[in-house]
Structure 1
Amino acid sequence: MTLSPEADALLARSHRLGADPRNTNYAGGNTSAKGTATDPVSGADTELMWVKGSGGDLGTLTGPGLAVLRLDRLRALVDVYPGEEREDEMVAAFDYCLHGKGGAAPSIDTAMHGLVDAPHVDHLHPDAGIALACAADGEALTEECFGDRVVWVGWRRPGFQLGLDIAAAKKANPRAIGCVLGGHGITAWGETSSECEENSLRVIREAREFLSERGKPEPFGPVRDDCLPLPKDERRSRAAALAPLLRGLASTDRPQVGHFTDTAPVLDFLARAEHPRLAALGTSCPDHFLRTKVRPLVLDLPPAAPLDEVSVRLRRLHEEYRSEYAAYYDRHAADDSPAMRGADPAIVLVPGVGMFSYGKDKQTARVAGEFYLNAINVMHGAESVSRYAPIDEAEKFRIEYWELEEAKLRRMPPQKPLAARVALVTGAGSGIGKAIAHRLAAEGACVVVADLHAENAAAVAEELGGPDRATAVTVDVTDEQRIKEAFRAAVLAYGGVDLVVNNAGISISKPLLETTAEDWDLQHDIMARGSFLVSREATRVMTEQGLGGDIVYIASKNAVFAGPHNIAYSATKADQAHQVRLLAAELGEHGIRVNGVNPDGVVRGSGIFAGGWGAKRAAVYGVEESELGKFYAQRTLLKREVLPEHVAGAVFALTGGDLTHTTGLHIPVDAGVAAAFLR
């Protein structure tokens, strides 16, 4: 995409500003540049504005993320502005100011940029700036900090009127380089892109220095002995124990993915005497509480309290939270308000342990936690020089249930079938397991790639998109402790587990008289015992979550078909096949479905076949190893070769939502082997 020099400079400035979390939060703020371009119709020079569009992130902004508007038309909207009571109508009017096709939808902050008389404008949400904006005497503190170089603009919901307010403040204060927006953030401007960036950074730097020099040392109060952080290993163990329960509670209205944070600022905040009071006040900046809800749920028990006692208390606090949130909605909802989106907390704070955050996917959950950390920083700054005073509840509701925010949600693409589900796949570093991991991730799941070989697991997790999409764990499925550690890693990464695929395995192909007891034990340890151990640990997590779940066994045609020279492998597969039936019968009352897939002849891409099994099976059948896949295909009814992707498709068919009433089933994926038909 060819851009103007102004737009290129704007993108570069945006990337620099967005790369530093001290400047603005994820997807927070917007930047703009004004310039001229040739009108393709008239051939005349036309004044344009390039501005970050709705929903983008400064740090990763690209050309298509910019809205391009004609300044003459944008400024003409002042003459038809119907007033604050109807200012939401102005967002639709921005569409009539667009220049050409493509680009992003203009955001609610477009007026702020277009109406301010400056070629370049930055609107940012730095913690230091919001601390002043949310201090009880923020206006006086702003003057003390900046003098007449930065002016105060009182709280107003983002929109056209706020743009007029900022424009008027700049006009009335010609020496000003920016302003602090009460309860919101900062805006700065400049004659050039570099000057604008320098002014933004200067406002942030001076606010940070002011808070540091002027602020008192312990704004959150003294440390509470009953809230001290647990040692790291104990803290993580306690977090892993609580995570499935908390995720289940946070998913009462709709499924959520979790994220856990135990950074020093979070633990220090929760260890201090004032954390209950401040947490109850909620967040303030609109970007914050849109992600975190108006306030978090806070556990009020000591970090080392018995887990049974903690579980009972969390369930009670969750009931109270839901009731209070519904009452908050009822207090402020009007006839035309959007429906309540859910009453579960997005942030749960556990003193001595850390913060759990939730969202529709891992990125949303992680960012919610980052936003609450921003809120902690804001509270720290405001309390250090004054008193934290967020905008009132009614204004928070107006933002949270703003029709423009609802419209933004409606524009989002529909969720994928496995969205908000967490899958753990064993043997996922290669072959069938790798194909399953790829398919589940493609359908929206977060995937825990479990494999004996760490480098293989890490490579697959990276292929799937990294930590927000997949995480790698090294696990030997014969080792109970390693399996527990794998599930602990899963619940700390994503909050819990919903879908487990028992795929790890080896194949030992020998005649009966050549099969040793060691061969038999190894085959059974990995697949029969390993599947049992993985399923048992999965069930612990799933029952604690209370969200149901899926367990899928990758068995084999050999589970029902008797062939020569294969006693250890086939007997183990028969064991797995019956585990499916046994567990389906036992776990149905918990909403956990247990099914199996019976592949055959998966040669290409298979780690088992590449590890020597293929050569042995080729010898049994008297064909070249390179021809084994074709040989298997020709003995099937469909005469088609089975690939790892076909097995992955069967796993998705069982777990993707259409077979909601199916459990205890085995699906053959063998291109048709009559001798293996299920009876």
Structure 2
Amino acid sequence: MTETFKHVSYLWDEAKAAELAGDEVALLIYRSNLLGADLRLTNYGGGNTSCKVAAPDPLTGEPTRVMWVKGSGGDLGTLKKSGLAALYLDRLHALKNRYRGLEFEDEMVELFNHCIYDLDSKAPSIDTPLHAFLPFNHVDHLHPDAAIAIAAAKDGEQIVKELFGGTLGWVPWQRPGFDLGLQLERCLAENPGIRGIFLGSHGLFTWGDTAYESYVNTLEVIERCAEYLEENYGKKGPVFGGQRILSIDNRAARASRLAPVLRGFCSSYVQMIGHFTDDERVLQFINSHDLDKLAPLGTSCPDHFLRTKIQPLVLELAPDADLSDPKALKETLAPAFEAYRAMYTEYYQTCKRANSPAMRDPNPVVILWPGVGMFTFAKDKQTARVAAEFYINAINVMRGAEAISEYTSLPRQEAFDIEYWLLEEAKLQRMPKPKPLSGKIALITGSAGGIGKAIARKFQAEGAVVFLNDNDADRLAGAREEFLKAYGKDASSSELLDVTSAESIAKAFDACALAFGGVDIVVNNAGISISKPIADHTEKDWDLLFDILVKGQFLVSQAAVEVMRKQGIGGDILNIVSKNAVVSGPNNLGYGSAKSAQAHGTRLLAAEVGPEKIRVNMVNPDAVIADSKIWAGAWAEGRAKAYGITVEELPFYYAKRTLLNEVILPDDIANACFAFVGGLLNKSTGNALNVDGGVAMGFYR
């Protein structure tokens, strides 16, 4: 059987499902992954699914009914069996005798643990009773934009009744919990034969006797909702009241210039990572006449709200405003951020309860710039990106609700009770402690191999997002693919970069700002080595060394300081110099002189930007041969000739001459860089750290 849908994706593969026949839990996971693959059906991390099966009781051996349901956290699109909670169904129903009413909702969550069947399964979520009290073998709870648009409409209940002819039930808005599960059970009892239930302002429950029946039922209900919205678009007038302003053409360039300034404001409490999108749906909303009316209302679905905060900040900044003076720009934008923080503080003070957690970060998550696009800021890139996706879902909901009726958001007290729910606070407290470089953005030049890639890997492992770059396109593509597989799509970005070109550098820093919001750590690592006697050393050799090592460090540092000043939150510049900056050796005049210039440039810049909390330090390696383009060419031959040995003998020669008798590896340099930026040396600038195994001639005096 092949179903045809226009507004949702039918992904069921009968052959694949046949392989899973007889294993209802496997079919649940399969169905969940299909539903989670279509963001029109549910958001990342949102919604949950379940199935009920017969299984032997491990104590008695007698058959019992067990419910498998998506556990707390996780995502339907990537759900595995380890992400499911398995609970005794009869014990969940027995909890009705323990329920003491709405004031005691939270205590029921602890009792779920006494119902667990599979001790290795995921912790049960707050939605567990909502699935348990519906008697169907397979149940889907999703947050489809089309359905929420109706659920969030002022007269949504009447629309559902007319649209589905009484075959869909309605339960008014209520915070998820045990009582909501009882209400679903009551709704079904009062409306036998219905195929699903709308939750006011929240989402949709649908079901079936088999995984396939539940899947198709879900798609059919959402498809009908989407059809209804499409039929009504334009009947009340232009979408969002029509276009008020036009989008500018150079949106990405404008966004990259403003992002560091916004990031600085948003990082006043916790350092944030940014995301930008100029999705057509975003532009339609932010350029509309209804923006000022709808944006302050916030979102309706709890999943949307928890990711995007009470409301966005709308910038009163012309899309073509002058961005050339960061100081003036900050003065222009500061009142808007101060007003947002004051609004959030008032919201907290007005709605807080006696046992509410302390107020959280009062800065906005979502920032709308009419004519340009939407910025989102969060603790990491994935969270910032997902926040943007959720706000686009909210835009879709507002668009649909306004087309058929009037959009309604959650009352502020209800929104507060979700945001500061003690169960949510407990979940936040259980999260792992942030890594030392969490919230940091690192740009390492020449990071497609050798020392640069080792530094990028180290910073990534310690929590930073990294911006990879190199002047070798093939080498950079390989590094990008490696980091994508190892760390995922949100952990890194990349751009070709020639450190001798101010234009190329500006392009790379703009790309970094667009990808992550700015930059915190810049490592001048790109290098070249030429080893020749003075008689053989050409003017071209000299110019190339100084262009890449000295001019390159200057231009990259200049661009870094510009971005860091826009952010106003300090930063680190690290220069990978060399023991050759202080040690005299044969056949090394050009390289050693350039390294000496890099070293003194480090001290000079540290003296200039220190008052702005920008630290500038250097790491001095020696003989880092592994995975290095430098050592693959004439440099190795030149150094071997200078010392009267073969190229193959070089690693052991260099190790033998050190006090520690050690070979120096790229990871050793990466560890030294982390020592400077990992938090323990925040009061250190203008310093050098030798990583050479101990070369006495290189000791600083």
Q: What secondary structure does 1:20 align onto?
A: coil
Give the aligned residue type for 1:221.
G
Q: Measure the CA separation in 1 of the matches of 2:474 and 2:125.
A: 44
Deviation at 1:300, TM superposition (A): 2.1
1:285-313 Cα shifts (integer Å, max 9, x gaps): 10111110010000123211233565433
Partner in structure 1 of residue 189 of structure 2: 171
Query: Which residue is equivalent to 1:364?
Result: 383
Amino acid across the alignment from 1:355: M
- Distance across 2 between alignment mates of 1:311 and 1:388: 34
**Does residue 229 of the first structure (1) align with residue 247 of the second (2)?**
yes
From 335, 360, 369, the equivalent of 1:350 is 369
Gaps of 5+ in 2: 1-19
Aligned to 2:105: 87
Q: 2:400 aligns with which of 374, 381, 385?
A: 381
1:212 match? 230
CA gap 1:29/1:92 in 2 versus in 1, 3 angstroms: same
Give per-residue Cα distances to partners, 1:227-260, cap 9 Å, x unaligned: 31001xx211211111000001111111110000
* Structure-1 residue corresponding to 2:547: 525
Q: Matched residue pairs, number?
A: 674
What percentage of aligned pairs have identical amino acids?
52
Aligned to 1:595: 617
The match for 2:260 is 244
Q: Which amino acid aligns with 2:508?
A: A
Distance 2:646 2:86 in 1: 63
2:307 to 291, 306, 311: 291
Report the equivalent of 2:201.
183
Answer with 21-30 or 138-147: which moved more.
138-147
Specify the code of the residue in structure 2 equivalent to 1:8: A
CA–CA separation in structure 1 for the residues paired with 2:358 and 2:638: 63
Shift of 1:74: 0.8
Q: Which amino acid aligns with 1:497?
A: V
Q: Which residue of 1 aligns with 2:344?
A: 325
The counterpart of 1:470, out of the listed 492, 511, 514, is: 492
What does residue 108 of structure 1 align with?
126
Report deviation, 1:519. 0.5
In structure 2, C-alpha distance between the alignment counterparts of 1:36 and 1:456, rounded to whole Å:
55
Is the CA contact 1:338–1:401 (under 8 Å) kept in the aligned structure 2?
Answer: yes
Paired AA for residue 456 in structure 1 = R
In structure 1, the residue matched to 2:70 is 52
More displaced stretch, 660-669 vs 624-633: 624-633
Shift of 1:215: 3.2
Q: Give RMSD over aligned pairs.
A: 1.3
For residue 424 of structure 1, the aligned residue among 437, 443, 466 is 443
Q: Deviations over 1:157-189 (max 9, x none)?
A: 000111111111122212211111001010111
Q: Which residue in 2 is equivalent to 1:29? A: 47
Cα offsets for 1:550-572 (capped at 9, x unmatched): 00000000000011101111111
Whether the 8 Å CA contact 1:454–1:472 is kept in 2: the answer is: no
Contact 2:21/2:27 (8 A) holds in 1: no
Alpha carbons of structure 1 residues 310 and 546: separation in structure 2 relative to 1, 3 Å: closer
User: 1:334 is matched with which residue?
Assistant: 353
User: Which deviates further from its counterpart, 68-77 or 170-179?
Assistant: 170-179
Identify which of 576, 579, 592 aligns with 1:570. 592
Which AA in structure 2 matches 1:390? S
Kept in 2, the 8 Å contact 1:211–1:384? The answer is yes
Q: Aligned partners of 1:112 and 1:655: how far apart in 2?
A: 48
Provide the secondary structure at the position in 2 that maps to 1:258: strand
Assess if the C-alpha contact under 8 Å between 1:3 and 1:63 holds in 2. no
* One of 667, 673, 679 as aligned partner of 1:645: 667
Instruction: Report the residue type matching 2:405 in the other structure.
Output: S
Structure 2 distance, partners of 1:336, 1:4, is 48
Q: Following the alignment from structure 1 to structure 2, what is the Cα–Cα distance between the partners of residues 433 and 522?
A: 20
Matching residue of 1:495: 517
Tell me the TM-score normalized by structure 1.
0.98
Q: 1:492-536, CA deviations, whole angstroms, 9 ceiling, x for partnerless residues?
A: 000010000000011010011111111000000001000100000
Counterpart selection for 1:66 from 71, 84, 95: 84
Q: Is the 8 A contact 1:614 1:625 kept in 2?
A: yes
Cα distance in 2 between the residues matched to 1:295 and 1:622 = 70
Q: Residue 659 of structure 1: SS of its match in structure 2? A: coil
CA distance in 2, matches of 1:4, 1:422: 49
Distance 2:330 2:624 in 1: 46
- How far 1:4 sits from its partner (Å)? 8.4
Please say if 1:454 is aligned against 2:473.
yes
- 1:411 maps to 430
Q: Residue 306 of structure 1 aligns with which residue? A: 322
Question: SS of 1:12's equivalent?
Answer: helix
Stretches of structure 1 that go unaligned for 5 or more consecutive residues are none
SS at match of 2:633: helix
Secondary structure at the counterpart of residue 87 of structure 1: helix
CA deviations on 1:104-133 (whole Å, 9 max, x unpaired) are: 111110010111111111100000111011
Asked whether the equivalents of residues 556 and 599 of structure 1 are also in contact (C-alpha less than 8 Å), the reply is yes
Distance in 1 between the 2:586 and 2:473 partners?
34
Deviation at 1:3, TM superposition (A): 13
Aligned position for 2:269:
253
Q: What whole-Å deviation, never above 9, does each CA across 1:540-594 have from its counterpart, x for those lacking one?
A: 0001101100000000000000111011111111111011101111111111000
Q: For the residues of structure 2 that align with 1:397 and 1:370, how far apart are their CA atoms?
A: 22
Deviations 1:355-400 (A, max 9, x none): 0001110000000011000000000000000111112111000001
User: What's the CA shift for 1:624?
Assistant: 2.1
The reply to whether residue 553 of structure 1 matches residue 569 of structure 2 is: no
Offset at 1:422?
0.3
1:275 maps to what in 2? 291
C-alpha offsets along residues 414-467 of structure 1, whole Å, 9 cap, x if unaligned? 111101100000010111101111111111100000100122223223322343
Give the residue type in structure 1 aligned to 2:432: P
Distance 2:425 2:165 in 1: 39
Please state if 1:135 is matched with 2:153: yes
The structure 2 residue matched to 1:201, chosen from 214, 219, 234, is: 219
Q: C-alpha offsets along residues 134-153 of structure 1, whole Å, 9 cap, x if unaligned? A: 11111111112212111111
Tell me, in whole angstroms, the C-alpha distance in 2 between the residues paired with 1:26 and 1:627.
54
- How much does 1:613 deviate? 1.4
Paired letter, 1:13 = R
| Separation (CA, whole Å) in 2 of partners of 1:50 and 1:218 | 45
Note the C-alpha offset of 1:219: 2.9
Query: Are the structure 2 counterparts of residues 466 and 117 from structure 1 closer, same or farther at C-alpha, using a change threshold of 3 Å?
Result: closer
State whether residues 435 and 645 of structure 1, in contact with CA within 8 Å, keep that contact through their aligned partners in structure 2.
yes
TM-score using structure 2 length: 0.95
Note the C-alpha offset of 1:46. Answer: 1.7
Q: Could you tell me whether the CA contact under 8 Å between 1:441 and 1:447 is conserved in 2?
A: yes
Match of 1:620 in 2: 642
Residues in 1 aligned to 2:172 and 2:27: alpha-carbon distance in whole angstroms: 31
Q: 1:3 to 1:87 in 2, by over 3 A?
A: farther
Give, in angstroms, the shift of residue 51 of structure 1.
0.4
- What are the superposed Cα offsets for residues 183-221 of structure 1, whole Å, 9 maximum, x if unpaired? 101011111111111111111111000111123352301
> Does the 8 Å CA contact 1:604/1:629 hold for their aligned counterparts?
no
Which residue matches 1:444? 463
Instruction: Point out the more displaced range, 394-403 or 310-319.
Output: 310-319
State whether residues 206 and 217 of structure 2, in contact with CA within 8 Å, keep that contact through their aligned partners in structure 1.
yes
Mapped contact 1:605–1:643 kept (Cα < 8 A): no
Corresponding residue SS for 2:535: helix
Partner of 2:6: none
Superposed, 1:383-402 pairs within 5 Å as 383-402=402-421
Q: 478, 483, 503: which one pairs with 1:481?
A: 503
SS of the equivalent of 2:188 reads helix
